[in-house]
Amino acid sequence: MSTVTNMYPGHPCRHCTGKGCAIYANRPQDPCINFICGWVQADSPLPEDMRPDRAGVIVLLGRQWQGWPIIDAIPMGQTIPEESVEWLKAYAQEVRTPLILRDYLKKGDRYVGQQTRGFGPPAFRDTVKYAIGPQDIVRM
């Protein structure tokens, strides 16, 4: 049985320290070892400053979303720090790949939804703007 359970946006793994994994050397195969963030993947274009614990964001490269190739950025906290957002936007523009930025919405200490922002050509931004799913609806 995996020691990593009950993970979802706004409720990270119980082994997450906010700076990394408390059981990294002994982490389970699934989902941990099988997961490859953009910073550690082979031939990663991400600089040292974009290491997740420094940048406050997990970057996923080579992903697809609604038929678009994308760079997917997931905050390590509630939001991605602005400095990291600016770097990601510049990088996405340089490599001509649309970018999705996610923010977690909270009410008090409770996770209540997710906001998705898209950066790229107008058609991509429109797709993000109008592609709201049940997970994007905030319940108050």
Q: Where are the domains of the chain?
A: 1-35, 37-136
- DSSP conformation letters of 31-73: IIIT---TTTSTT----GGGSHHHHSEEEEEEEEETTEEEEEE
Band (pLDDT 50/70/90 cuts) for residue 133 is low
Higher pLDDT, 121 or 10: 121
CA–CA gap between residue 39 and residue 58 (Å, rounded): 8
pLDDT > 70 fraction of the chain, expressed in percent and rounded: 84
Q: What is the pLDDT of residue 132?
A: 55
Q: Sheet of 110-119: strands edge to edge?
A: 57-65, 68-75, 99-107, 110-119
Q: What is the mean pLDDT of residues 54-73?
A: 90
